[in-house]
Structure 1
Amino acid sequence: MTSFVHVEQPATHPGVARAEAVIDHIRSARRSFDGARGLAALLLAAIVASLLVVADSLISTWNDGGLLVAWLVMWGVGFAALGLFAGTARSVAVRTVTAVRTSARRMAAARADEQFLAYAKQDPRILRDLQAISTRQETEATEIAASAKIAADASVPTLYSALRAVNLGQHY
């Protein structure tokens, strides 16, 4: 008798599966990363540092007896600034990050358009397609303008003429 050996081989390598899982985890972490949080912390630190410098300059003229009180006041100002300006710093950071991202998208779109138009100048097929699209848009715009003019020129019947037409059976 002849016996055949069937060895089950895995379709994927365990190391490759682990590497793919790590890459997917890094991608998901990158998508959830919010750059505004770090910027908000930086702005808040700058605001608190400036307030602490002002408080230090005010208490530097005091004598040694009031030094402990001055340090307590300065740290109180620092913590109060952290509490008061945290929301403002966060909103400024979010707006800044959003503005930077939208301007980057606009610049990328403008670059892509410039590259496409440069390529279109070299390829007559794309140039003809662009000309056909612009001609079609112009004719649609003139048709819309003409229909708007016709609608504006159509006279609206007066109440008397409308009721007369209804009574005579001439529905308009």
Structure 2
Amino acid sequence: MTRLVHSASTGAPMASQVTATAPSTIDNEEKSRPLAGMLLAAVMAALLVAADQVIDSWVDGHLLAAWVALWTVTFAALALLATPLRQLSNTGAAWLSAWAKARAEARAEEVMWELACHDPRVMTEIRMASLRQSQG
């Protein structure tokens, strides 16, 4: 007969200690660097379109001044917006990751509950685990 409850091995605590103490290989800031770059590129494109609209309304005699103004705006925006956009993308990526993880856990619980509703052995195991957890 198939057992639904697995007994813990002696190697499991050692493996969990190793994974808990191992440093993460990818820093959170490094994970969202591509997202920050795309966000910065989008903001820069919007700023350049706005600056181009302003420059198009000027007369042709001020073309060099307009060109200098356009690139001044571009480089100033790059300097000023790089850090805030990276922080914004880090926050957004962390939130999205947490949401996806919570959704996956909820989906797994729904699947387990559906299985427990159709299989009395699984429901018994869930009840016993709940009883053991409440007893300490």
Q: TM-score, normalised by structure 2?
A: 0.69
Residue 42 of structure 1, CA deviation: 1.2
Instruction: Give percent identity, aligned residues only.
Output: 39
User: Does residue 130 in structure 1 map to residue 126 in structure 2?
Assistant: yes
> What is the 5 A alignment of 1:31-70?
32=26, 34-70=30-66
**C-alpha separation in 2, matches of 1:117 and 1:99:** 27
Q: Deviations over 1:77-124 (max 9, x none)?
A: 000000000001101111111112111111111111111112222332
2:102 to 97, 100, 106: 106
Amino acid at match of 1:59: I
* Range with bigger deviation, 119-128 or 102-111: 119-128
Where structure 2 has 5 or more consecutive residues not aligned to the other structure, the ranges are 1-24
Paired position in structure 2 for 1:3: none
**C-alpha separation in 2, matches of 1:139 and 1:64:** 83
Q: Secondary structure at the match of 1:90?
A: helix
> What is the 5 A alignment of 1:74-113?
74-113=70-109
Amino acid at match of 1:99: W
Where structure 1 has 5 or more consecutive residues not aligned to the other structure, the ranges are 1-30, 141-172
Residue 35 of structure 1, CA deviation: 4.2
Provide the alpha-carbon RMSD of the alignment: 2.3
Q: Which runs of 4+ in 1 moved over 3 A?
A: 31-35, 132-140
* Range with bigger deviation, 75-84 or 31-40: 31-40
**C-alpha separation in 1, matches of 2:36 and 2:43:** 11
- Compare CA radii of gyration and give the structure with the larger one: 1
Change in CA separation of 1:38 and 1:134 when aligned onto 2, cut-off 3 Å = same
